[in-house]
Amino acid sequence: MKFMAGEYDVAIIGAGHAGIEAALAAARLGCSAVIFTINLDWVGNMPCNPSIGGTAKGHLVREIDALGGQMGRAADANLLQSRMLNRGKGPAVHSLRAQIDRRAYSAYMKQTLEQTPGLAIKQAEIVDLTREADGRWRLTTRLEAQYLARAVVLATGTFLKGKIFVGDVSYDGGPDGMFAATSLSRALLALGVSLRRFKTGTPARVLRSSIRFDHLEAQPGEEPVVPFSFETIQPLENRLDCHITWTTPQTKQVILENLHRSPLYGGKIEGVGPRYCPSIEDKIVRFADKERHQVFIEPCGAGTDEMYLQGLSSSLPEDVQIRLLKTIPGLEEVQVMRPAYAIEYDCCDPLQLDATLEFLDLPGLYGAGQFNGSSGYEEAAAQGLVAGVNAARKIKGQPPLLLDRASSYIGTLIDDLVTKGCTDPYRMMTARSEYRLLLRQDNADERLTPKGREAGLVGDERWAHFCARQEAKAEERRRLHDTVLPPSEPLNRLLQDCGTTPVTSGIRLEDLLRRPQLDYARLEPVDTGRPPLDPLVREQVEVELKYEGYLRRQQAEVDEQRRLESRLLPENTDYAGIRGLRKEAQEKLARIRPRNIGQASRISGVSPADISVLIIWLSQQTGQNKPENMGV
């Protein structure tokens, strides 16, 4: 018998990485919130690789932290190993990646939810979702409990009609042996939500003691450990090593001989898989000339002997998996604890969403994470944070948090999803941003902490720390500008040793730091008046000096793009009535409903000529091109 179990401002369906950030944001902004999960023991689970960060993904984590989110702090608190990727390249692509204790991370996030005032946590499967006449949403659980909420965030991950594939075997299920959410899809379709099927997969987990580590290449963490969170002050340490091995010609042979048993190639899997994280059988077929593929063997936790085989995602039958693993150096005697599997699931077409992540035609309903067609924990958490903030701000009658492409990778991620859409699981990469030199991970706090403060997620203590760091940076820039070193034998000997030109007259410290051969460490012997400096401040100052000209040019591009972003398009514009717009442009603009000229210019199928027509039409509208209601 159905019964009313509670009323809330915001309800979040799913307690993965998107759901966690959405729930914490809504509750921290003063809303009453409730989060639902099928199993409370798997809050914040990492069903795939137990790592956080990586190329571009590390930028997202830093940005989440800068806005006041939780992922960075949780990663630092449960760290196993940390490395900075792309050290040999420019600062725009330096990306932090950390191996995480997956069960400890889950417990940390569960307790964080439990200790957040105004947030209720419920173990329940939501099987129905309907909209009331007053605009509120009614959620019904499998046990027939009903809840009312003014806003709902859908953060269902890979659970929505989840289906597991291992060779010839397939069954309804979620990741890691969990139940699938089998009924909610019907309710969403009834609401008019357009759904499609995507697919992802995960490798086998194996027993540490069955691995021949003497056959592997050790991959230790980097020292000193760089934290994700700008608020992590205590030193962090690397606790465990990762290892590297490679597939062999025998591995390839086993896979090719059994390709007909793969549901991926047998036509059983309908969902579209991730382009940039293919299964091992897909790699063997797509890269037929490649002799071997790299495999990373990584720990799942400090309190378990389970090891994760990154690079060996598969849906091949279990017996074939065991055979192929034993062809790989170090895994000759391996014992498989959990076989690899593929999972197919429902997700929405993100072109149905506004930049706030609210559905265009369903007020108060938001999407976040893999439900929106993305892949990855970091992409999910970023969207969850934005959806949770915007749900809360809408309820409070406040302007939304809108992040543009020039402000952040989060803004790029959301703009790509809601403006361009995706035909396969979307993964963030540095190449997706036009402004990646401006959007470095080291300056995420400078770019976004003021927005987090304005949104209400950055408290007084954190704001004071941020302001102090900004003042220290400004003071260091003044010192470098004002300090002139006269020519001297020690200075010129240092310059020659570093492969750069000696000086014959006085030179500012800032001009020395601009030289590519020099940095803070090399200048230490002659920079005798240097005060103690936060490593983050030192990094920011050095990057800004060395890349000053490039940064100026990129900022000019940003200013031009923001000029277009400031020209708002009226809501409910009748694009079919604008003379000169091509038919395709009319249809795309009417469907996506861009907020401004800048967003319209990025829609596939809208040409520069169409944009010119829009600008002329907009200039004829009285007061419609003023940058009002631009949000936080």
Q: Which amino acid is at 608?
A: P
Residues 6+ apart with CB under 8 A from 31: 8, 9, 10, 118, 391, 392, 395, 396
User: Could you tell me if 495 and 501 are in contact, meaning their C-beta atoms sit under 8 angstroms apart?
Assistant: yes
Rounded to an integer, the average pLDDT of 367-383 is: 97
CA–CA dist 149, 26 (Å, integer): 12
Three-class DSSP category at 356: coil
Asked if residue 264 has pLDDT above 80, the reply is: no
Q: How confident is the model at residue 622 (pLDDT cuts 50, 70, 90)?
A: low
- Positive or negative: CA dihedral 59, 63, 65, 66: positive
CB atoms within 10 A of CB 106: 23
pLDDT value for 13: 98
Q: How confident is the model at residue 629 (pLDDT cuts 50, 70, 90)?
A: very low
Mean confidence (pLDDT) of the chain: 94
598: nearest Cα among 550, 557, 552: 557
Cis amide linkage into residue 263, ω under 30° from 0: no
pLDDT value for 623: 56
Name 207's bridge partners: 306
DSSP letter assigned to residue 258: T
Cα angle value 334/326/311 (rounded, 5°): 90
Q: How confident is the model at residue 632 (pLDDT cuts 50, 70, 90)?
A: low
- Positive or negative: CA dihedral 62, 68, 69, 73: positive
User: Could you tell me if 280 and 255 are in contact, meaning their C-beta atoms sit under 8 angstroms apart?
Assistant: yes
User: Could you tell me if 50 and 298 are in contact, meaning their C-beta atoms sit under 8 angstroms apart?
Assistant: yes
CB atoms within 10 A of CB 378: 29
400: nearest Cα among 410, 389, 411: 389
Of the two residues 403 and 271, the one the predictor is more confident about is 403
Asked if residue 627 has pLDDT above 80, the reply is: no
The 10s digit of each residue's pLDDT in 242-258 is 999 999 999 999 999 99
The 10s digit of each residue's pLDDT in 335-355 is 999 999 999 999 999 999 999
pLDDT value for 147: 98
Name 218's bridge partners: 243
- Dihedral (C-alpha) 440, 452, 459, 368: value to the nearest 10 degrees? -100
The 10s digit of each residue's pLDDT in 165-223 is 999 999 999 999 999 999 999 999 999 999 999 999 899 999 999 999 999 999 999 99
254: nearest Cα among 180, 319, 351, 188: 319
> Residues of the chain with pLDDT > 90: what percent?
90
Rounded to an integer, the average pLDDT of 462-473 is: 96
- How is residue 458 written in tokens? 């950055």
Question: 3-state SS of the chain: helix, strand, coil percent to 5?
Answer: 40, 20, 40
CA–CA dist 158, 199 (Å, integer): 8
CB atoms within 10 A of CB 375: 24
pLDDT value for 625: 46
pLDDT value for 153: 98
pLDDT value for 333: 97
Rounded to an integer, the average pLDDT of 551-564 is: 92
CA–CA dist 505, 511 (Å, integer): 13
Widest distance between CA atoms in the chain: 89
Write phi, then psi, for 440 (nearest 5 degrees).
-80, 160
Asked if residue 384 has pLDDT above 70, the reply is: yes
CA–CA dist 86, 93 (Å, integer): 6
List own/partner pairs for 604-610 with CB under 8 A and 24 or more apart.
604/420, 604/421, 607/582, 609/582, 610/581, 610/582, 610/585
The 10s digit of each residue's pLDDT in 269-324 is 777 877 767 889 989 998 989 989 999 999 999 999 999 999 999 999 999 999 99
Write phi, then psi, for 342 (nearest 5 degrees).
-105, 150
Chain Cα centroid distance, residue 61:
7
The 10s digit of each residue's pLDDT in 79-124 is 999 999 999 899 999 999 999 999 999 999 999 999 999 999 999 9
pLDDT value for 529: 86
Cα angle value 599/602/604 (rounded, 5°): 130
Asked if residue 396 has pLDDT above 50, the reply is: yes
The 10s digit of each residue's pLDDT in 21-79 is 999 999 999 999 999 999 999 999 999 999 999 999 999 999 999 999 999 999 999 99
310: nearest Cα among 323, 286, 328: 328
pLDDT value for 278: 83
